Chain A
Amino acid sequence: MAFKGAIEIDTAHCKGCGVCVTNCPTGSIRLSGMVNSKGYNYAEMTGDACIGCSACALVCPDSVITVYRVKI
């Protein structure tokens, strides 16, 4: 059984700590080159390898990540 996932990030409230990036098993999240209004390089989804495991959202201190997952 395979899963495909997607994440939505509240970029305005992301503080760019990068804890989600090191916890992602598929390398589907990175820190953007752009900054938000507070000056943080916010996290963003990259590629299409996300499996919707929620690891990034679980470790996010500011609860800015929402995770979706479908069976394929």
Chain B
Amino acid sequence: MDIADIKRPENLVYRKPALITDNVMHYCPGCSHGTVHKLIAEVIEEMGIQDSTIGISPVGCSVFAYNYIDIDWEEAAHGRAPALATATKRLCPDKHVFTYQGDGDLASIGTAEIIHACSRGENIVVIFINNGIYGMTGGQMAPTTLIGMKTSTTPYGRDPKLNGFPMVIADMIAHLDGTAYITRQSVHTAAAVRKAKSAIRKAFEYSEKNIGLSFVEIVATCNSGWKMSPVDANAWMVEHMFRKYPIGDIKDVLK
């Protein structure tokens, strides 16, 4: 069969989600942000909640998330996305509200906001992209940077005596009664992408049920900050990041 005969509308099995805009993403080649944006767009499209979803974009590489997914957005001050999401959800309880945050935003300057939002059990979804580094500002050490990992502010590797230990946010907030669903996923292979998508879908469904905060951590790469090719960064993530941040569900109150 000829290639041209296969490329017909009736044979279409995968296309770019309709909610992803035509703007060219400013992310570096191979950045996990693009893949996660796509999954969120697919979930919103499949659930048919485009008109009732409000995203809160963070400060960091993903600050321009509002340019790429065609829904309503708010832009929060650095780390304050969960506080803004709290206000939005309480004022508009029928809306689906989610925050999209990186580790520099959520695990550092925004630690107080995320912990208290979890403690209050706000019915929001938090998407947390953890790549162990500050991507936008030049690859500095983040709270989630692994021991021994080289960054621009720890050129000889992170030393716990000087820089402390990596923070495992998802496990920390699992102890808080306000959280309903906490999971850690990744998007480096097709199978991982499918699992991450069902986790994001579950998180949105849980927030509809008003049973607490749903938290999806995505262990991601920053190939520019890590100074590797996208393919090498994925392999490095599997070898090193997964040891500290193992993939899987951490908490599910409905199970």
Instruction: Enumerate chain A interface residues (CB-CB to B < 8 A).
Output: 4-6, 8, 13, 15-19, 21-23, 40, 45, 48, 52-55, 57-70, 72
Contact = CB atoms under 8 A, between A and B. Distances in A.
Interface in B31-75: 31-35, 38
Interface residues of B, number: 36
Name the residue among A5, A15, A45, A68 with the largest chain B CB count within 10 angstroms: A68
Nearest to B189: A23
A19 B30 contact: yes
Contacts, number: 99
Given A23-B189, A58-B190, A6 B31 contact: no
Contact of A18 (B6, B16, B24, B231): B231
Q: Provide the main secondary structure of the chain A interface.
A: mixed
Nearest to B5: A70
Contacts of A16: 29
A18 B234 CA distance: 11
B166 interface: no
A15 B30 contact: yes
Given A13-B24, A40-B29, A70-B1, A63 B7 contact: no
B6 A69 contact: yes
Contacts of A17: 29-30, 230-231
B16 A61 contact: no
A18 B11 contact: no
